A and B are shown apart, each in its own frame.
Chain A
């Protein structure tokens, strides 16, 4: 075992509480033979990531989970969430929350933007903790493998929507709905409350495209604000029972609209239940 892997193992043991660390042993994971899955996911790295984000989850953002019983214990499903923030704090907290709320722990495989693999260190690190580049092929593979897939149908415009447009869903992509129909998997709407205020932007550089990034957001604060985060999971939407043809563009659009309305309803519910930002 390499030094890095040994260090990683010790680090996750050190940072996680013993119960969480023990649960990692039963993590659902398809080993391709050398301790990684075919897309590069490494359970050891995931353990380290859980340990490293523990402080952020428990103390800094004080994440509260609502409706976790809607998360399937096994089988493929799509989690569709609202998106925001300079860095994917919402994605990270959902991944941690899913791993904590499921037993045996499940990994929410985040569909990231296609520019992520081009970024040195970031691309490799993300792939080790389960993020995959947002290509249709990768998405299909995850669903066929029975994985839990986390998507942000707002995409990059969700990150750059700015403080004034918080909790207003931006252009809603439909790819997740098409795949949900094709693979007959449920979609679980997810709303993250708090993340849209955690790191407000004062502007963005639209001319910045290093490594294929769509723009460079300019934050108002050097660090995210310690806003209390709430993750709400909705009832699974069995779209394929209502919409039968994954090749019908109108039907796919309608199915994606159902998901969007469900996320909007969860956001409204979450905002009304929230008692203060902090």
Chain B
């Protein structure tokens, strides 16, 4: 069962799972109508259910009617709210309460034996005193002043992590680097959408970016099992922020840091963009790259696909 199946990552994962002859059946779950094109549908191996995951009753019925009947073995929880500006209890319900409920239901489900949760690198606290290369044991962002998007992700991640070793399920948490793609909630995608990118003067941190294909592949490897635990999922692209701006064909303007938050707030209000400087303040100052050695060793994951940068590296011309 894959939640968030209408998101680009969910779609890609479902496609990959269906392409794998080892997959008996995929139960895709999303908030919107069925996203897969007709050609991909395989009625024998593919079912889609439109479910509001914030409603505990709907969630319960999904697992204990369809889920039980179809004898689902693995739950991949990939449904997290994507827009950073949306806040409030309903968003919290999807990000955190739904994760808690889903995990609890999966634990008492007769056929589910494995739970895979897609978390994000945003859960780590970026501290200039800490390591640039973040391992799974590095501190999490537990500051009460962090925006809800971050707090929810940390809470959901910890909710799942605290069940490890106590749950009858094999639990896997994948902390993915930022996926630079549309409609995945990527802050950088929105940031680079502007022709002029403002960045704090004097700082040019290293970023680690993940392609959609590698994210889906990591989830697929986690589904296969039997490894369990927390794994960082780094991307193939490790580069400074200024280089990312350049490769995206944008103009960068370094400005004093205190000016950036109000300017980006103004931009968000004017054109409804999702980029929040307060959310990215630390990573626009301090380098952070995920250490993916554990995932490589235990899951066999290695980033293979680069981001398709609009401007090629060598010529500087649009490709």
Interface residues of A (CB under 8 A from B): 1-2, 32-34, 36, 38-40, 114-115, 117-121, 123-124, 127, 132-133, 135-138, 141, 212
Contacts and interface: CB of A to CB of B under 8 A. Distances in A.
Contacts of A40: 132, 205-206, 240, 287
A133 B203 contact: no
Given A33-B237, A36-B240, A137 B313 contact: no
Given A120-B203, A121-B202, A138 B133 contact: yes
A232 B132 CA distance: 31
Which of A1, A33, A118, A136 gathers the greatest number of chain B CB atoms within 10 Å? A33
A38 B238 contact: yes
9 contacts: A36-B238, A36-B243, A38-B132, A117-B128, A120-B200, A124-B202, A137-B132, A137-B133, A141-B133
Given A2-B246, A38-B289, A117-B286, A124 B135 contact: no
A34 B133 contact: no
Majority secondary structure of chain B interface residues (helix, strand, loop or mixed): loop
B306 interface: yes
Contact of B203 (A32, A34, A38, A123): A123
Interface of B: 128-135, 138, 200-206, 236-240, 242-243, 246-247, 285-287, 289, 291, 306, 313-314, 316
Given A33-B237, A36-B206, A120-B203, A137 B135 contact: yes
Contacts of B286: 117
A136 B203 contact: no
Contact of A118 (B128, B313, B314): B128
Contacts of A33: 236-239, 306
B131 A135 contact: yes
A165 B128 CA distance: 31
Contacts of B239: 32-34, 36
B202 A38 contact: no
Contacts of B240: 36, 40
Given A36-B239, A118-B285, 6 more contacts: A38-B133, A39-B206, A40-B240, A123-B202, A127-B206, A135-B131
Contacts of A124: 202-205
A39 B289 CA distance: 8
Contact of B316 (A1, A117, A127): A1
Nearest to A136: B131
Given A2-B246, A120-B201, A127-B287, A34 B313 contact: yes
Contacts of B201: 120
A137 B238 contact: no
Nearest to B206: A40
B315 to A, nearest CB: 9
Q: Which 8 A-B pairs have the closest CB atoms?
A: A137-B131, A120-B202, A32-B238, A34-B239, A117-B128, A114-B129, A121-B202, A135-B131
Nearest to A142: B133
A133 B238 CA distance: 18
Nearest to B246: A2
| Residue of B133, B236, B240, B306 contacting most chain A CB atoms (<10 Å) | B133
Nearest to B131: A137
A34 B238 contact: yes
Contacts of B316: 1
Nearest to B293: A144
B284 to A, nearest CB: 12
A124 B205 CA distance: 7
Contacts of B135: 137
Contacts of A127: 206, 287
A277 to B, nearest CB: 37
Contacts of A121: 202
A133 B206 contact: no
A137 B138 contact: yes
B132 A133 contact: yes
Contacts of A117: 128, 285-287
A39 B242 CA distance: 15
A2 B239 CA distance: 14
A112 to B, nearest CB: 11
